[in-house]
Amino acid sequence: MAAHTEQLTRPATAVQLRSLHRSFGDRRILDGIDLELPAGQFTALLGHSGSGKSTLLRAIAGLDHGVAGSGQVAAPRQVSVVFQDSRLLPWRRVLDNVLLGLDGKDAARRGRAALAEVGLEGRERAWPGELSGGEAQRAALARALVREPELLLADEPFGALDALTRIRMHHLLRELWERHRPSVLLVTHDVDEAIVLADRVLVLERGRIGLDLTIDRPHPRSYREPVLGEYRERLLAALGVTEDHR
């Protein structure tokens, strides 16, 4: 059985993984991961398709009960997860989706404020089917943020969006992070997305963290900054992408 997720006692550290293993049948996906994510850090996780990024994220979220494995996972109690699709319930209006499971007199006001923060003021009573892909992901972000998570786990949240919407969402996510300062772990297959958004980029490789890179550049960053090219080269090399493959 997978290890139980417990609350960390050291608030300076958001996530602590010790010797994390996960397997499906006889295929070992995560092979002894040791990792610490400091509180409030924006981290991206890269890796080839099938390298185990989502498996790692689900282990941190405590969403992998029944998966074979061992090791320790410590993570905050307040965790929100955003996926590639918004997972809004189609039969509930946007605000009701954001508020799902929230109690308290203040909940509706907080939900409206969260929707305003992601640029969806006035769409509270819309049905999810009336939203564009980008708007639906905005609503998913509002639903995540209204819970004031200490840790935001995002599994390719912009993977299904067009290039322009994606860039707008990058700005939004970074802005929201600056305002709320949760720890973020963003799973992506997009090297540029990782470099522009995150202050630390991890590469998952053969079940381990193959590269742990600090991106020490001020924000906002542009894709075209030449200095980011050096980080890109290092990450692409870690992913095994050489000039010949581009």
Ligand X SMILES: Nc1ncnc2c1ncn2[C@@H]1O[C@H](COP(=O)(O)OP(=O)(O)OP(=O)(O)O)[C@@H](O)[C@H]1O
Residues of this chain that bind ligand X (CB under 6 A): 24, 29, 47, 49-55, 189
In order of 32, 53, 78, 199, 231, the CA distances from 202 in angstroms are 15, 10, 23, 10, 12
**Between 13 and 23, CB nearer to ligand X:** 23
How far apart CA 63 and CA 61 sit, in angstroms, is 5
CB of 63 to ligand X, least distance (A): 11
Tokens found for residue 210: 């193959």
Query: 3-state DSSP helix/strand/coil percent for the chain, to nearest 5?
Result: 35, 25, 40
CB of 60 to ligand X, least distance (A): 12
CB of 67 to ligand X, least distance (A): 7
CB of 179 to ligand X, least distance (A): 28
- Selection from 162, 189, 180, 192 nearest residue 118 by Cα: 180
The residues with which 68 forms a beta bridge, in sequence order, are: 23
**Between 52 and 69, CB nearer to ligand X:** 52
**Between 63 and 113, CB nearer to ligand X:** 63
**Between 59 and 141, CB nearer to ligand X:** 59
CB of 189 to ligand X, least distance (A): 5
The residues with which 209 forms a beta bridge, in sequence order, are: 204
- Selection from 185, 5, 178, 150 nearest residue 78 by Cα: 150
The residues with which 22 forms a beta bridge, in sequence order, are: 30, 69
**Between 84 and 165, CB nearer to ligand X:** 84
CB of 206 to ligand X, least distance (A): 12
Strands 200-205, 208-214: parallel, antiparallel or unpaired by DSSP?
antiparallel
**Between 82 and 176, CB nearer to ligand X:** 82
